[in-house]
Structure 1
């Protein structure tokens, strides 16, 4: 007769497994070691794209400390914190610094004014000599014709000379030249002719003295490029060649 008591505790090696010893079910498809592997619990590798590795993202947001979505630039700074080209210790308005790094300093106002005066006188003399044989000195009938001819000659003269090397004869004498603001190169043909046209055509259509005064004063108060209206329209700047 069996002496087994079904109400008694099962032995370690009994037929029925001990429920006290059963391991809890693993969640999320655990690893062989029994460690849960939550696909959303593992933080992504640090660093943004192109910063610490290709395709990587930061532990906060976007790869930058503090959660910046734009990543980091040089020296741990955001690229949006960097000053634009041409600014800084050698940038606009700096002592001895040109509009862009490596460009000569801006031309001085005395040199610019004298260069313009030299050019104007040269063109005016040529215009007078061309008109003089057909003019009447008694009633000054040739004065208006000389002015109109001088304006036409000046437009062609400046457009051709600036498109060639950025200098007219007056600018060569005063050691200044016209340069493209973006990189200091010789003005393009479009910029050269635009600059000449904006200087001359309003003077022909309206009062010449008043227009040239407004144009010049605009450059005096312009900071930091010292651009007159004709420079603004052509995106040029006057620099020194010394």
Structure 2
């Protein structure tokens, strides 16, 4: 029979193995110099919690330089954020500046009006020269024909010139040009012809002087881009070239 007593002390180095037993450490049971809080260990540089890359290419914590997780700048702000019209620095959405950053200031009313008069007189002179061999300007039919011809010529003249570089001869002389409101570029062909048609066709169908007065006064009271009705229709704006 065995004389081993299971309730007796285990022999040194034998018997059941000990699991999870470690020799006592100085400093409260943790390795010397390590904090007792297992969650207080600072993350390694560039690791999680330090703004470094995560396991899937993202970032943890705050990105350096106050940037958000997508490189947009401080949270809640995007590099494409722009102040609303009428607010912000000069040169953007203000009466004295262009509608978009980098665009020149808006064209002044005296320059715009004189530019229109120059263009109209030039086109009217051509119309008179073309109609003189066939009718007298002293007759009602001759003067009406001259006006109708001038309107047709002006429609073509305005549409072609604005679609080319945003300037007619009158606008070149007065140092203003027509630009797309959204980006300041030269008007598209559709915008150029829409602008010319809205300026001319109602004048032909109704009272020319009354329509041009309404169209012009609309731009005087329009804020902040001083757009006349024909500018609203074409989504254009008149800016200075100086």
TM-score of the pair, normalised by structure 2: 0.68
Larger CA deviation: 147-156 vs 121-130: 121-130
Choose which of 16, 39, 48 in structure 2 pairs with 1:45: 48
Deviations 1:166-188 (A, max 9, x none): 22222122221222334433333
Q: What residue number does 1:164 align with?
A: 164
Alignment RMSD (CA, Å)? 4.0
CA contact (8 A) 1:195 1:233 kept: yes
Deviations 1:173-208 (A, max 9, x none): 222122233443333333322221121122223332
* Cα separation, partners in 2 of 1:47 and 1:200, compared to 1, 3 Å: farther
CA contact (8 A) 1:97 1:105 kept: yes
CA contact (8 A) 1:115 1:171 kept: yes
Instruction: Supply the distance in 2 between the matched residues of 1:162 and 1:84 (Cα, whole angstroms).
Output: 29
Deviations 1:137-157 (A, max 9, x none): 675222322221111010011
* Cα separation, partners in 2 of 1:58 and 1:91, compared to 1, 3 Å: farther
CA contact (8 A) 1:70 1:78 kept: no
Q: What residue number does 2:125 align with?
A: 125
Instruction: Supply the distance in 2 between the matched residues of 1:52 and 1:95 (Cα, whole angstroms).
Output: 46
* Cα separation, partners in 2 of 1:10 and 1:192, compared to 1, 3 Å: same
Instruction: Supply the distance in 2 between the matched residues of 1:47 and 1:164 (Cα, whole angstroms).
Output: 55
* Cα separation, partners in 2 of 1:134 and 1:166, compared to 1, 3 Å: same
Q: What residue number does 2:8 align with?
A: 9
Q: What residue number does 2:78 align with?
A: 79
CA contact (8 A) 2:95 2:106 kept: no
**Which residues of structure 1 form unaligned runs of 5+?**
25-41
Instruction: Supply the distance in 2 between the matched residues of 1:229 and 1:236 (Cα, whole angstroms).
Output: 10
CA contact (8 A) 1:92 1:225 kept: no
